[in-house]
A and B are shown apart, each in its own frame.
Chain A
Amino acid sequence: MPGSIGPRSIGRRRIVVTGIGAVTPVGAGREEVWENLLSGSSGFAPVESFDTSRYNVHAGAEIKEFDPAPYFSRLDPQTVGRATQLAIAAARQAVDDADLDLDSVEPERAGVVMGTTSGEPREVESFDDRYVAEELEQVGPEFITRYPCHVIAGCVASELQLAGVNAMIPAACAAGNYALAHAFDVLRAGRADVMLAGGADSFSRITYTGFARLGAIAPEVCQPFDRNRKGMIPGEGAAVLVLEPLERALERGRQPYAEVAGYGLSCDAHHMTAAHPEGAARAMQRALSDSSRQPEAVGYISAHGTGTATNDRLETRAVKRVFGDAAYKVPMSSIKSMIGHTMGAASAIEAAVCALAVATDRIPPTAHFEEPDPECDLDCVPNEAREQRVDMAMNNAYAFGGNNASVIFEKCRT
């Protein structure tokens, strides 16, 4: 229990979200992504980036027809991996969306924190193809210069000339939330004036193989909380949020989407791939206590909601443990029903959703919902978006390794 933990000693600066960028299987850019999520779009299609003929599943949530070139002005998009391309696109969009003139920011006071599950898996997959073909001599320096995951945050900084704090947090499927949480602390402690934070992952053969082997991939669509749900669907994407102190946003005449109220992290220490309701509950409780809020104040929960039998059942149980009877009154949807599981990007995209729910009082649905599951009996906002006041939104994410992270966003009162 977190009993002995005392009050925070440094930094009570209020940190807000002023810009959102996202590249997803249902579109790119804040407006397009948000509208498509509200209308229940579906990003699922047969996998094209590699041959799935030897697999017993074929559905994926890939981003089709992505052209990185318009987002690059310094680096050459052909010299970086796909996750880095997606990350730079989302970062550029977020900066534009925030109306942030980077020339007006001291580069040394602006930084980047990104999360990922796999870094640049296509680089290691290409290494493996050559290994198997006994053509290893064809592996050039790019394996080491592109593959290690920290290059994603590094290249975003290099492209946008942000010379401040730089960190990469590979916390698997909760990585976006971990990155946001860290950036939030960096800003609170006064170590930067502006932080870009988010997550990115590219569609990966390795990830697909692993989930296929676990029998976790659904044949056609992802149906979180549905009684007949058949699993998750791997996806790809990136999202980046511009975070800055409230006073700075106001000084430059910018009305924030939302304020970051607090976060909580925990570790199950239980199982590498199966979640545990106790750890998930502790992350939510810590986030609430860090935000000095009661569960009743939460108006929307963005669920981890992968669509696997186990995750959705355990997650429902964890939310009930924290929220008690109030659990039945909080809408809790999963956008993975539309864009699949975008891995390290997932909770970053979901964080953008939470910020926009708070900003617009609209809640995206859980799509493809057909039949209620008695073990997942909370309000999953089936199929239709909802207009409803959202003062606070909680973003939940759970990862391999038992890494849990909850981040809370609230309406920014100025």
Chain B
Amino acid sequence: MSAETSHQEPAARRVVVTGVGVVSPLGDSPRDLHAALTEGASGFRAVTLFDTDGLGARHAGEVADFAPESYLGRVNLRPVDRTARLVIVAAHLAFEESGWTRELREEHDVGLVLGTMFGSVHTISSFDRRALVAGPSYAKPFDFANSVINAAAGQTAIWHALRGINSTVAGGTTAGLQALAYAAEVIRTGRADAVLAGGADELCFESLYGFHQTGQLCSEGDGGAGHAVPFDARRDGMVLGEGAGLLMLEEAGSALERGAPILGEIRGHGNCYDCSRGTGESAVDAVERAVALALGDAGVSAGEIGAVSAAGNGSVLGDRHEALGLAAALGGRADLPVTAVKSMLGETLGASGAFGTIALLESLRSGVLPGIRGLEEPEEGLGLEGLSPRAREIETRLGLIDAVGLDGNVCALVIERIDSEELSAQLSGGA
């Protein structure tokens, strides 16, 4: 099925991107983020959010000097934790770009689907520890309200007056991409016209320490983070990161009607599970299957995909499974340009799928795909030849993003670059 034939189904609703909000270790706009990724900048730095003494991991992709007031004005941020602040600011930026003013949001239902791994494990743990130390009657009610995993989505809805479908999707590092797929589906099926979607996780002591104890983080030298280079032969683990990335998704016709900027289209998605929980060969099949499902859902062939934004984060086993799965799904396209933005942002958990999507959308629009920072020698036998340390020019409309969880979840998304003129021509039957 091609893009054209999908129009023959009269009721098929298409999903477009009308704005992007991003708060990342490498900038707070999709343009700045893309520019930094294209330069091969590193978002890793010594952690300043909390004391890392005695911790093996001291570097991370921290959003340094994050100041919500600089976006939101002088407001009372006390009731919301860092995860929610990241989401509230990313939402603010996405609404600004897409033209969803507060007046419009008060008149129309806007939904929010947020992917997150932890919500805020820091808030949850702090609440519990205070009760343990000082006694249960000293626990803070504010913290309890924020201890639910859907707190950031609920707080953002209150902050920005979002009365549409509000849902939180977990899934570890696939949560952000799963949230985009979920949101696209509720628009496609007519349950909503406008849904903000993406993901977020904050950097905190509890998650950094927890991941350190799993042995999944890369080694650290004196000079900084070690070899967290996706798909590189010498990779030895990941660096943790944080941030929030959100895309304003809308039904194509209504977006065009209100004169919204049209940045791209969500064409299809696939989601499946590896029952070995990321430990066995079936992990490769799961990646292949998710990609094939996404391509089928989008009605495009592997040959039409011109760029890939991969989930690779430096994990020894995970990167291998992903590469082999991608190579199998995209068969015969070994030279396909593949980027892995976690080489620069770190593993931002719930945000990572959104960051991967935002980076690829900006690449499709600008014609430049970032490279993989630090890549010296790709592991042999991965089946992907389009891995490069440097940014490359690409000439394609269609891109693929995949997310591979640490324990079994896999998700893939197909996006297309499209502008309002093209969309308008297609919707009026001119394509």
A interface with B by C-beta (< 8 Å):
1-2, 4-11, 54-56, 107-108, 111-112, 116-119, 121, 124-125, 127-129, 131-132, 136, 139-141, 143-145, 147-151, 154-155, 157-158, 161-172, 178, 182, 185, 188-189, 191, 205-206, 209-210, 212-214, 265-273, 279, 282, 290, 399-403
Contact = CB atoms under 8 A, between A and B. Distances in A.
Contact of A267 (B108, B166, B275): B166
A170 B127 contact: no
B400 to A, nearest CB: 18
> Which 7 pairs across A and B sit closest by C-beta, in order of nearness?
A401-B154, A210-B144, A267-B166, A170-B149, A9-B11, A166-B273, A272-B145
Given A148-B117, A163-B272, A400 B167 contact: no
Given A154-B273, A210-B147, 19 more contacts: A6-B11, A9-B188, A107-B275, A127-B210, A147-B121, A151-B407, A162-B275, A163-B274, A167-B178, A182-B182, A185-B185, A209-B127, A209-B144, A214-B141, A267-B162, A267-B166, A401-B168, A403-B154, A403-B166
Interface of B: 9, 11-13, 79, 108-109, 111-112, 117-119, 121, 124-125, 127-129, 131-133, 135-137, 139-141, 144-151, 153-155, 157-158, 160-172, 175, 178, 182, 185-186, 188-193, 206-207, 209-211, 213-216, 254, 271-277, 282, 286, 289, 293, 405, 407-409
Given A108-B289, A166-B273, A266 B165 contact: yes
Contacts of A402: 154, 157-158, 166
A111 B273 contact: yes
A54 to B, nearest CB: 5
5 contacts: A5-B191, A5-B192, A132-B133, A188-B189, A206-B124
B251 to A, nearest CB: 8
Contacts of A154: 273, 277, 407-409
B275 A158 contact: yes
A265 B127 CA distance: 29
Contact of A400 (B145, B170, B172, B282): B145
Nearest to A111: B273
Nearest to A117: B148
A171 to B, nearest CB: 5
Contacts of B407: 145, 150-151, 154
Contacts of A54: 135-137
A322 B121 CA distance: 38
B190 to A, nearest CB: 4
A213 B215 contact: no
Contact of B124 (A124, A214, A267, A399): A124
A141 B214 contact: yes
Given A272-B158, A401-B148, A403-B150, A265 B166 contact: yes
Q: Which residue, of A108, A121, A149, A212, has the highest number of chain B Cβ atoms within 10 A?
A: A149
Nearest to B113: A169
A290 B191 CA distance: 9
Given A124-B121, A170-B170, A4 B409 contact: no
A212 B128 CA distance: 13
Given A4-B193, A149-B170, A118 B149 contact: yes
Contacts of B151: 272, 400-401
Contacts of A401: 148, 150-151, 153-155, 157, 166, 168
Contact of A185 (B154, B189, B216): B189
A148 B273 contact: no
Nearest to A182: B182
Contact of B214 (A10, A107, A144): A144
B209 A136 contact: yes
B152 to A, nearest CB: 9
Given A154-B409, A402-B154, A170 B272 contact: no
A46 B210 CA distance: 33
Nearest to A129: B132
B125 A131 contact: yes
Given A144-B211, A169-B169, A265-B165, A271 B189 contact: no
A165 B129 contact: no
B209 A4 contact: no
A71 B178 CA distance: 29
B348 to A, nearest CB: 15
A165 to B, nearest CB: 5
B154 A272 contact: yes
Contacts of A139: 209-210, 213
Contacts of A163: 272-275, 282, 286, 289
Nearest to A6: B190
Contacts of A148: 117-118, 170, 172
A158 B165 contact: no
A158 B279 CA distance: 12
A171 B167 contact: yes
Given A5-B192, A185-B186, A143 B165 contact: no
A269 B157 contact: yes
Contact of A169 (B127, B167, B286): B167
